[in-house]
Amino acid sequence: MTETLRRQASEPVELREAASGAVPTASSRRAARLWGAALLVVVVASVVAASWTAGPLLRPEGFSLVGNFLGAALRPATDVAFLQLIASAAVTTVAYAVLGTVLSLVLGLVGGVLSSEVWWLAGRHERARRRGAAGWAMVRGVLVLPRAIHEVIWGLIFLSVLGLTPLVAVLAIGIPFGAVTAKVFAELLDETPRRAYTAALASGTPRLTALLYTLMPAAWSDLLSYGFYRFECAIRSAAILGLIGAGGLGFQLALSLQTLNYPEVWTALYALILLSAATDLWSSAVRRRRASGAGASDRVIGGSLVAGAVLVVGALWWVQLDLAVLVAGDTWQLVLQILEDAWPPGLGGATVLGLLQAALITVAMSVLAIVIAFAGASALAFPGAAGTALSPGRWLVVLVTRGFLIVLRALPPPVWALLFLFVMAPGVLPGAMALGVYTLGVLGRLMTESVENLDRRPQEAMRAHGVPRPTVFCYAVVPAAAPRFVAFGLYRWEVTIRETVVVGVVGAGGLGLVLNQQLAAFDYSAAVTTLGVIVLLTAMVDATSAGVRRSLR
Amino acid sequence: MTSGLSGTAGELLFAVRGAGVRYDGVVALEGCDLEITAGERVAVIGPSGAGKSTLIALLNGMVAPTDGTVTALGCDLARAPARTARKVRRQIGTIYQHFDLVEELRVVHNVNAGRLGAWPFWRAALSLVRPSGVGEVRGALERVGIPEKLDARTSTLSGGQKQRVAVAKVLVQQPRAILADEPIASLDPRLGGEVIDLLTEISADLGTTLVTSLHDVTMALGRFERVVALRAGRIEFDRPPGAVSSGDIEDLYAAVEPAS
Ligand SMILES: Nc1ncnc2c1ncn2[C@@H]1O[C@H](COP(=O)(O)OP(=O)(O)O)[C@@H](O)[C@H]1O
Ligand SMILES: [Mg+2]
């Protein structure tokens, strides 16, 4: 019992909720059928919407370009000057990710306490509880906005206010990640047993001190291990932010892509894949150790903490954050100017119908992407899962599958989109495929881990009765894995709708494209409207996904 | 410990007047009148669900009465401003059945948790890095018989040791009253007897008032000078153990009880 609790506690909390087991009942089966039918309709509509373009979908002349591009994979640029450039860009990306993660942890710590139930409600009397409930609702409301807006949008906003400074990347990662971390940390605090906390309050201990002594000791190591997971995500975000001009590997990649220098592109891609694979491995090693109940005295965890501290200091030194811009009079004047322009929100060149259409395209893109990702990931999760006593051949399959998934998620969606744009007409489809392929990489890993964590006893019992392997797979493995797969898929759909913005930025259409054009034209009042639509859409997808998950439980 | 702790004998510490507590319609206590003066040692007995825990929580102000009033050290904790209430609560130490220690912390921090009310935040935070006031903590742990556990992780302690840490925590708090809610319910009888002896000794030595709810009637009758009996949320009787007959006890526990 404690073992499973511990294990679960090591998974990111947002996933934990997604994966909590489902026992189908008659009514939930009926609900599932209904949702299934609705899903089919939505998927078909999305396919129709996405493939409805004026011209042909494919660009045959692009295939020779792809040939050139793939051919360059074997001869990446290796001249010393360029390698040095890439190395320094990689360090910059890591530094952004590190500082962004640190900022998100600080914001998450403060925001988590302030958005936890225990802070506002535990150990209070009736009257104070009512006031506490109001405060609690307010803080949670405030945190919704930064969470709904993607890092790239934050990046574009900060870019227009602060100009090109490393601070842009750090803030763009730190703020949305901080809001997510706050939610996760609040849940951790609320799940920690409260008796010691209320006992401390009973002896007249101030709230903050009581929290520090009674709730933090249990929650902080989970927060740190979650921090490593966030760092892994931050590396990818830092790369994407590079593409919009914030510097680092993404920026080098964009430059090489623009000049069609494929050998250089490949060098940058290899660097990105290496970086992403390394952080993936590091983060999952730390979380696996935590899962087995190890604390800070463990070699891997202790070493990782020290390494983390070194990274923070190194990143500060490398980036030379100039905080002066934050307090500069010019900056604030610009902020005021922008706010003045932005209020009241307007439509600019857009029309209500146009916005609605862009919103529909955005939803269609996210649905297609998640369908692609779900189909691919559930097919690859089984070959990718390592069990006990594997034959060498089976090991090879595991390694190849995992390597493939790592590559898929190492390249940020905009890069995939640019690659698809070689051979496809610009539009929703290449955007959806780019998001789908990237999400396949992420989802594949989550599903692989969940297959590895399945209870093996039912399968072994069947095998012992002489049931053939394929039958065991259908009767014992698939039914156990399916509810988790669906939950992970829904959770990733929520993430994907936010990420449609990212491929929109490179021209794949939808609200992201609209927003990017408005920001580029300094039409802030229209941008606010578009942002509002994005936030609304995100909230609707979150609510739908939560509804489906509840009905499946 | 300092001698200034003992109150003037006869000073009124707790006054419960016509107090009742309802939880969403469930009546936990009703029409309770009780006065406890400085230096008294009171046992609260009664079947499970009778309202013992609720009574203890009324005394330290963690539950507000839905009827009547409760004052602790002259202060109405349910109505007082938060700051005043906190000051009064520092004078009241409470020990719970489940110890309510933080398993992840070392023993020294759990003991120090007893006096966090008197420390500013920065001192409390620093103390987690470099324990503050270790001398007093060691003294308290010696008093409860486990000085060697100062640096141990609390999760490695046995049940009896944990309850001793809980007592040590109240000792460093230097309260004027110690409340204990079934402090020995999860210990075996021998260990339980030792912990109760420890509490009554401390109370006698320092003149601290002691109010303990107990499941074990013999323990209550044998080691306390006053017994308050609760049944179905009402005070059934309130007298010295010598005046409690075995018939009283039978009546108290025989009655049909609402399940709790
Ligand atoms: N937080 C609560 N919410 C609802 N009912 C409660 C709560 N705490 C106690 N009760 C009810 O109040 C009554 C008295 O409980 P309690 O004071 O815990 O009794 P005891 O400690 O003597 O077992 C019981 O019927 C119990 O179910
Ligand atoms: Mg009780």
Residues ≥6 apart with Cβ < 8 Å to A269? A253, A411, A415
Sign for the CA dihedral angle at A165, A166, A172, A178 comes to negative
Backbone angles phi, psi at B14, to 5 degrees: -125, 135
| DSSP codes joined into one string, A269-294 | HHHHHHHHHHHHHHHHHHHHHHHTT-
Query: Would you call B239 an interface residue with chain A, using a CB distance cutoff of 8 Å?
Result: no
CB within 8 Å: B117 and A204: yes
What is chain A's length?
Answer: 553
Mutate to test the pocket of ligand 1, among B54, B97, B182, B214 (most ligand atoms within 8 A of CB): B54
pLDDT tens figures, A457-471: 777 788 778 788 888
- Helix ranges, A328-412 (H): 329-342, 352-384, 392-410
Cα pseudo-dihedral A156, A162, A166, A167, rounded to 10: -90
pLDDT band at A102 (very low <50, low <70, confident <90, very high): very high
CA of residue B164 to ligand 2 center, whole Å: 20
Cβ pair B209, B178 in contact under 8 A: yes
Q: State whether the beta carbon of B155 lies less than 6 angstroms from ligand 1.
A: no
SS3 of residue B97 by DSSP: coil
Among B48, B14, B62, B55, CA closest to B31: B55
Burial status of residue A441 (CB atoms within 10 A of its CB: 0-12, 13-18, 19 or more): buried
Which residues from A are below 8 Å from B89, CB to CB? 201-204
Distance between CA atoms of residues A354 and A399, nearest Å? 47
pLDDT tens figures, A300-355: 888 888 999 999 999 999 988 777 777 777 777 888 888 877 777 777 777 788 88
Distance between CA atoms of residues A15 and A391, nearest Å? 31
pLDDT tens figures, A354-384: 888 888 888 888 999 999 999 999 999 988 8
pLDDT band at A56 (very low <50, low <70, confident <90, very high): low
State the ligand closest to the CA atom of B97. Answer: 2
Adjacent-strand bridge partners of B67:
B20
Nearest-Cα distance to chain B for A119, in Å, is 15
CB within 8 Å: A213 and B128: yes
Backbone angles phi, psi at A260, to 5 degrees: 55, 30
Which residues from A are below 8 Å from B61, CB to CB? 202
**Chain A nearest-CA residue for B56:** A202
Supply the ipTM of this predicted assembly: 0.85
pLDDT band at B20 (very low <50, low <70, confident <90, very high): very high
Residues above pLDDT 70, as percent of chain B: 94
Mean pLDDT within B246-260: 74
pLDDT band at A1 (very low <50, low <70, confident <90, very high): very low
From residue A73, give the alpha-carbon distance in Å to each of A67, B102, B163: 10, 56, 67
Distance between CA atoms of residues A463 and B171, nearest Å? 61
Sign for the CA dihedral angle at B137, B138, B144, B147 comes to positive
pLDDT tens figures, B121-158: 999 999 998 999 999 999 999 999 999 999 999 989 99
Distance between CA atoms of residues A491 and A14, nearest Å? 8
Q: State whether the beta carbon of B214 lies less than 6 angstroms from ligand 1.
A: no
pLDDT tens figures, A409-458: 888 888 888 888 888 877 788 889 999 999 999 999 889 888 887 777 77
Residues ≥6 apart with Cβ < 8 Å to A394? none
Cβ pair B202, B219 in contact under 8 A: no
Among A299, A253, A199, CA closest to B113: A199
Q: Given a cut of 70, is residue A11 above it in pLDDT?
A: no
Token duo for residue B223? 């080691």
Distance between CA atoms of residues A505 and A417, nearest Å? 10
Residue B94, amino acid: T
The structure tokens 């405060």 sit at: A135
3-state DSSP: chain A helix, strand, coil percent, rounded to 5?
Answer: 85, 0, 15
Q: Ligand 1, closest atom to CA B47?
A: 22
Of chain B, the end-to-end C-alpha distance in Å amounts to 40
Backbone angles phi, psi at A127, to 5 degrees: -60, -50
Q: Which residue's CA lies nearest to atom 12 of ligand 1? A: B28
Token duo for residue B141? 């742990």
Q: Residue A420's pLDDT is what?
A: 86
Among B222, B198, B218, CA closest to B210: B198
Checking DSSP bridges between strand B209-213 and strand B41-45, what pairing results, if any?
parallel
Distance between CA atoms of residues A211 and A282, nearest Å? 30
Cβ pair B94, B180 in contact under 8 A: yes
CB within 8 Å: B78 and A125: yes
Q: Which domains does chain A have, with CATH numbers?
A: 1-52+347-553 (1.10.3720.10), 76-342 (1.10.3720.10)
Residues above pLDDT 90, as percent of chain A: 23
CB within 8 Å: A212 and B125: yes
Which residues from B are below 8 Å from A202, CB to CB? 60-62, 89, 92, 94
Selected for mutation to probe chain A from B63, B100, B153, B165 (highest A CB count within 10 Å) is B100
Sign for the CA dihedral angle at A266, A282, A287, A186 comes to negative
A344 cis-preceded (ω within 30 degrees of 0): yes
Cβ pair A294, A300 in contact under 8 A: yes
Distance between CA atoms of residues A182 and A147, nearest Å? 10
Query: Would you call A203 an interface residue with chain B, using a CB distance cutoff of 8 Å?
Result: yes
Number of H helices, E strands in chain A: 26, 0
Q: Which residue's CA lies nearest to atom 27 of ligand 1? A: B260
Token duo for residue A21? 């087991």
Query: What pTM, to 2 d.p., does this model score?
Result: 0.82
- Helix ranges, chain B (H): 52-59, 82-89, 107-112, 121-129, 134-143, 159-173, 189-206, 217-223, 246-254
Distance between CA atoms of residues B56 and B179, nearest Å? 7
Q: In what order do the strands lie in the sheet with B12-23?
A: B26-37, B12-23, B67-72
Mean pLDDT within A281-298: 77
